[in-house]
Amino acid sequence: MNRPAEYSSEGSRATEAPAFAPAFVPGGDLTVLGIETSCDETAASVVRLSPDGEATVLSSVVHSQIDDHAAYGGVVPEIAARSHVEMIDGVVRRAMADAGLDYDALDGVAATAGPGLVGGVMVGLSFGKAVALARDLPLIAVNHLEGHAVSARLGARVDYPFLLLLVSGGHCQLLEVRGVGDMTRLGTTIDDAAGEAFDKIAKALGLGYPGGPALEKLAAAGDGARFDLPRALLGRKDCDFSFSGLKTAASRLAQACATDQDRADLGDAVQTAIARQLSERSDRALKAYAERHDHRLFVVAGGVAANRTVRATLEATAAANGFAFLAPPMAYCTDNAAMIALAGAERLQKGLTSDIDTAARPRWPLDEQSALADPVHPPGRKGAKA
C-alpha cells in the first residue's frame, strides 16, 4: 500500500506522517466522514470522491440550534458549545446509518478546525480526532471557509479554477480558487459580513433570528425605491466590501418605520443595496480574473447565496462579463458537513492530512499569505473573523 510521501497541514506544524495515520491507496474512490460544529449547526455527512473529482453525498445530517438561540436574537457561544456536545454523537451516528456504512468503509475523518466559535469547533474537532484514533483513520482538519469554497462541487460537476464570492454570516470574500489549499483572496470585508448586515438590520426591523431569510420574506411585499441608502466604497479600485454604514443607516430608518408596509419597503431597499454592493465589487473581480483565465466560471457560496435577489443580481453580473454562474443547491449554501467532508476528501486525495494535536482556531484566514501581506484588519480582537 502506498503512503503519501509527505503529510502537511495548514495551521499545524507537522510534515511527517503521524504514527496513528494508516496508509491509504491514492487513485481509488475516497469515502470521508465530515463533521461541522463551527457555529449553530451540528452536522455530519459522508461523501465519496472519485479519482476524477466527482463527489457523491451519501448522507448529510444537519441539526440546527435555531430554537436554542431564538430567544436571545443571535447565537450564544456557550449555549452553542453545550448543544454541540449533546448532539454530536447522535448526528454522526445518523450520518453513518443514512450512508449505510460501517466505520471500516471510511478512508478518513474531516472536521472543521476553524474559523468559528471556538467552543463549538473544539467539540467537533475532538469528536473527529476520537473517531480517527479509534478507527485508525487519517484526520483532516478543514477550514470552514474552504468547505464553503468547494460546496458548489456537491451539486454539479465543477472544475477548478473558478472565481468565488463567499458570502455568509461571518465572511464576505472574493477568492480565486484553484483547488483545496490553493486559493488567493482578491477582496474581503473591511467591517461586517453581508450576512451579519442582513441579521442586524432584520433585528432592528423586529424580525426573528436568523434575520436573512426573514428579511427576504418581508422584502417580497415591499418596494424600496423611496429609500436612499448609502453606497459604500463606490469608485474604489480594490475588491473589498463594507456594510457597516448601510447597517447603521438602515437601523436608524427602521426606528422610524410606522407601518408593516414601511418595514417591507425598507427590507426591500436593504436587500437591493446588499445585492448591489456584492455585484459592484464582484464586477471588479470578474474583470481582473478574466484577464488571467479563459475558463470563466463565477461561483457564489455561503448562507447569503440562498437569497434569491442576491443570486439573480450576481447571475446578471456574471453574464454581463461572459462568465457562467453557479450557486450550490440551497441545502449546501448554509452550514453543512457535506462541504467539510468533500474538502477533506480533496485534501486526502492530495495527501494532505493533519496531526492529531491540531488545534481549534477561532480565526483562520483561507489565504494566509494575502491576509499577512495585506492586513485589512489589524491583528487583535476587533478584526473580522477571518
Residues that bind Zn ion (CB under 5 A): 168, 335
Residue 303's beta-bridge partner residues? none
Partner whose binding site includes residue 344, from ligand KG4, Zn ion, none (CB under 5 to 8 Å by kind): none
On the question of a cis peptide bond just before residue 22, with omega within 30 degrees of 0, the verdict is: no
Helices (H), 164-243: 194-204, 211-219
Partner whose binding site includes residue 328, from ligand KG4, Zn ion, none (CB under 5 to 8 Å by kind): none
Interacting residues toward ligand KG4 by CB under 6 A: 39, 168-170, 195, 198-199, 210-213, 216, 302-304, 306-307, 334-335
User: Pick from 82, 76, 124: which is nearest to 335 by CA?
Assistant: 124
* Nearest distance in Å: CB 168, Zn ion: 4
Cβ distance to ligand KG4 smaller for residue 33 or 207: 207
On the question of a cis peptide bond just before residue 210, with omega within 30 degrees of 0, the verdict is: yes
Cβ distance to ligand KG4 smaller for residue 4 or 224: 224
How many other CB atoms are there within 10 angstroms of residue 209's CB atom? 19
Partner whose binding site includes residue 304, from ligand KG4, Zn ion, none (CB under 5 to 8 Å by kind): ligand KG4
* Nearest distance in Å: CB 195, ligand KG4: 3
Cβ distance to Zn ion smaller for residue 168 or 188: 168
Cβ distance to Zn ion smaller for residue 31 or 168: 168
Helices (H), the chain: 66-69, 77-99, 118-135, 144-150, 194-204, 211-219, 244-255, 260-292, 308-320, 330-333, 338-349, 368-373
Distance CA 367, CA 120 (A): 23
* Nearest distance in Å: CB 179, ligand KG4: 21
Partner whose binding site includes residue 306, from Zn ion, ligand KG4, none (CB under 5 to 8 Å by kind): ligand KG4
Three cell numbers written together for 162? 473558478
Cβ distance to ligand KG4 smaller for residue 4 or 210: 210
